[in-house]
Amino acid sequence: MMSELIAINIAIFCASVVAFFFLTKLKIFLVNVGWGLFSLGLLVNVVSEISDSIILQLSESILMGTGMLIFALALIKECDVILNELKYFKDAKEALAEREELFRTLTENEINGVYMVDENGTLVYVNPKFSRILGYKRDELTGKNALLEVVHPEDREIVKNRIKERLEGKMDVPPLRFRLVKKDGSVRWVEAYGASATYRGKKVVLGSLVDITERLKSEEEIKKAKERFETLVQNIPGVVFRRLLDDNLTIEYMSDESKNLFGLEPSELIGKSYLTLIHPEDKENVMKYIREGEPYRTEYRTVNGKYVVERGRKINEHVDGVILDKTRIKELEEERKKLEAQLAHAERLVSIGQLAGGVAHEINNPLTVILNYAWILKDELPSDSEHYEIVCEIEEAGMRIKKIVSDLLDFSRKGGGEFYELNINDVIEKTLTILAHELRGIKVEKMLDAKSSVMGEREKLMQVFLNIISNSIWALNHKETQDKVIKIHTYEKDGMVVIEIEDNGIGIPKDVLPHVFEPFFTTKPVGEGTGLGLSVSYGIVRSLGGSILIHSEEGEGTRIIITLPPAKINVL
Closest by CA to 407, choosing from 550, 519, 527, is 519
Of the candidates 161, 189, 217, which is a domain's last residue? 217
Is 351 found in the same domain as 293? no
Give the whole-angstrom CA distance, residue 412 versus residue 392. 30
In a domain, 293, yes or no: yes
Of the candidates 106, 123, 143, which is a domain's last residue? 106
Q: Which residues pair with 517 in a beta bridge?
A: none
Phi/psi zone of residue 254: left (φ > 0), alpha (ψ -120 to 50 degrees), beta?
beta
Is 129 found in the same domain as 91? no
Q: Which residues pair with 273 in a beta bridge?
A: 250
Is 204 found in the same domain as 266? no
pLDDT at 227: 81
Give the whole-angstrom CA distance, residue 495 versus residue 360. 38
Rounded to 10 degrees, the C-alpha dihedral 389/391/395/396 comes to 30
Is 516 found in the same domain as 436? yes
Is 439 found in the same domain as 404? no
Number of domains into which the chain is organized: 5
Is 291 found in the same domain as 398? no
Is 525 found in the same domain as 434? yes
Of the candidates 292, 325, 358, which is a domain's last residue? 325
CATH of the domain at 536: 3.30.565.10
Number of Cβ within a 10 Å radius of residue 359: 14
Is 120 found in the same domain as 201? yes
What 3-state DSSP class applies to 130? helix
Cβ atoms of 252 and 242 within 8 Å: the answer is yes
* List of residues 6+ apart from 245 with CB closer than 8 A: 290, 291, 314, 317, 318, 319
Is 356 found in the same domain as 296? no
Cβ density class 435-458: b for 16+ within 10 Å, e for less: beeebeebebeeebebebbbbbbe
Is 442 found in the same domain as 534? yes
Give the whole-angstrom CA distance, residue 47 versus residue 77. 11
Is 535 found in the same domain as 469? yes
pLDDT at 273: 93
pLDDT at 80: 63
pLDDT at 491: 95
The domain in which residue 187 lies consists of 110-217
In a domain, 569, yes or no: no
pLDDT at 194: 87
CATH of the domain at 201: 3.30.450.20
Give the whole-angstrom CA distance, residue 208 versus residue 559. 83
Give the whole-angstrom CA distance, residue 541 versus residue 547. 6
Cβ atoms of 464 and 422 within 8 Å: the answer is no
In a domain, 187, yes or no: yes
Give the whole-angstrom CA distance, residue 562 versus residue 124. 96
In a domain, 21, yes or no: yes
In a domain, 121, yes or no: yes
> Rounded to whole angstroms, what are the CA distances from 272 to 245, 265, 290, 313?
13, 12, 18, 20
Q: What is the pLDDT along the chain (572 residues), one digit of tens a residue?
A: 555 555 555 555 555 555 555 555 555 544 444 434 333 443 444 444 444 444 444 444 443 444 444 555 555 565 566 666 666 666 666 665 665 565 566 556 567 888 888 888 888 888 888 888 888 888 888 876 777 788 999 999 998 888 888 888 887 788 899 999 998 999 999 999 888 888 888 899 988 888 999 999 998 899 888 888 777 767 777 888 899 988 889 999 988 888 888 888 989 999 999 999 999 999 988 888 888 767 888 889 999 888 898 988 888 888 888 898 888 777 777 777 777 766 666 666 566 666 666 677 678 778 888 888 888 888 888 888 888 888 888 888 888 788 777 766 655 555 556 788 999 999 999 888 878 888 888 999 999 999 989 998 887 888 889 888 988 898 898 888 778 999 999 999 999 999 999 999 888 888 877 777 776 656 555 445 555 667 778 888 888 889 999 998 888 899 999 999 998 744 44
Give the whole-angstrom CA distance, residue 447 versus residue 497. 13
Per DSSP, which regions of 148-267 are E strands?
176-181, 187-199, 202-211, 239-244, 251-254
In a domain, 117, yes or no: yes
In a domain, 229, yes or no: no
Is 434 found in the same domain as 550? yes
In a domain, 255, yes or no: yes
